Amino acid sequence: MLLTVGELARRTGLTVRTLHHYHAIGLLAPSLRSDAGYRLYDRASVERLHRIQALRQLGLSLADIGTALSGPEPPLAEVIERQIARIDRELAAQARLRDRLTHLRAQLLTGQPPDLADWLDTLELMTMYEQHFSPDELQALPLHHNPDAWAQWRALVTAVKAAMDRDAKPDDPDVQLLGLRWARMLERDTGRNADFLDRLNAMQDDPAVRAKTGITPALQGFVEQAIVEARLAIYRRYLEPDEFAFMRAHYGAQMHAWPPVIAALRKAMDEGMPPTGTEARRLAGQWMTLFRGYAGDDPATHARIREAHAREPDLLHGSWVDPPLLDYLRAILAQAPAQAARDPGAGA
For residue 267, is it within any domain? yes
Task: Reply yes or no on whether the pLDDT at 93 is more than 70.
Answer: no
**Do 166 and 50 lie in a common domain?**
no
**Do 139 and 219 lie in a common domain?**
yes
Q: Percentage of the chain surpassing pLDDT 90? A: 28
Polymer length in residues for the chain: 348
Task: Reply yes or no on whether the pLDDT at 326 is more than 80.
Answer: yes
Q: What radius of gyration do the chain's Cα atoms show?
A: 24
Amino acid letter, 131: Q
**Do 225 and 251 lie in a common domain?**
yes
Between CA 278 and CA 284 the distance in angstroms is 10
Query: What's the per-residue H, E or C state across 158-190?
Result: HHHHHHHHCCCCCCCHHHHHHHHHHHHHHHHHC
Question: pLDDT confidence of 250, banded at 50, 70, 90?
Answer: very high
First to last CA, the chain: 49
Evaluated on CA atoms 119, 123, 129, 134, the torsion sign reads positive
For residue 245, is it within any domain? yes
Between CA 140 and CA 8 the distance in angstroms is 24
**Do 201 and 301 lie in a common domain?**
yes
The CB-based long-range contact list for 101-106 (8 Å cut-off, 24+ gap) reads none
**Do 21 and 107 lie in a common domain?**
no
- CATH number for the domain spanning 44: value is 1.10.1660.10
For residue 346, is it within any domain? no
The stretch 171-175 carries a mean pLDDT of: 95
The stretch 265-284 carries a mean pLDDT of: 89
Q: What pTM value is reported for the model?
A: 0.61
Task: Reply yes or no on whether the pLDDT at 86 is more than 50.
Answer: yes
Between CA 215 and CA 194 the distance in angstroms is 19
**Do 197 and 51 lie in a common domain?**
no
**Do 187 and 281 lie in a common domain?**
yes
Amino acid 39: pLDDT = 84
For residue 348, is it within any domain? no
Summarised one tens digit per residue, pLDDT across range 114-140 is: 555 555 555 555 566 666 677 777 777
**Do 131 and 219 lie in a common domain?**
yes
Summarised one tens digit per residue, pLDDT across range 178-193 is: 999 999 999 988 888 8
For residue 161, is it within any domain? yes
Show the domain range for 195.
124-340
**Do 57 and 166 lie in a common domain?**
no
**Do 174 and 222 lie in a common domain?**
yes
**4 by DSSP, 3-state: which?**
strand
Q: Which of 35, 53, 70 finishes a domain? A: 70
**Do 60 and 82 lie in a common domain?**
no
Number of domains within the chain: 3
Instruction: Answer for the pair 114, 107: CB distance below 8 angstroms, yes or no.
Output: yes
Between CA 201 and CA 258 the distance in angstroms is 12
For residue 184, is it within any domain? yes
Instruction: Answer for the pair 276, 319: CB distance below 8 angstroms, yes or no.
Output: no
For residue 347, is it within any domain? no
Summarised one tens digit per residue, pLDDT across range 11-37 is: 888 888 889 888 988 888 888 888 777
Residue scoring higher pLDDT (348 or 171): 171
DSSP letters for 124-137: HHHHHHHHHS-HHH
**Do 197 and 329 lie in a common domain?**
yes
| Phi and psi angles of residue 32, each rounded to the nearest 5 degrees, phi first | -165, 180
Average pLDDT, the chain: 82
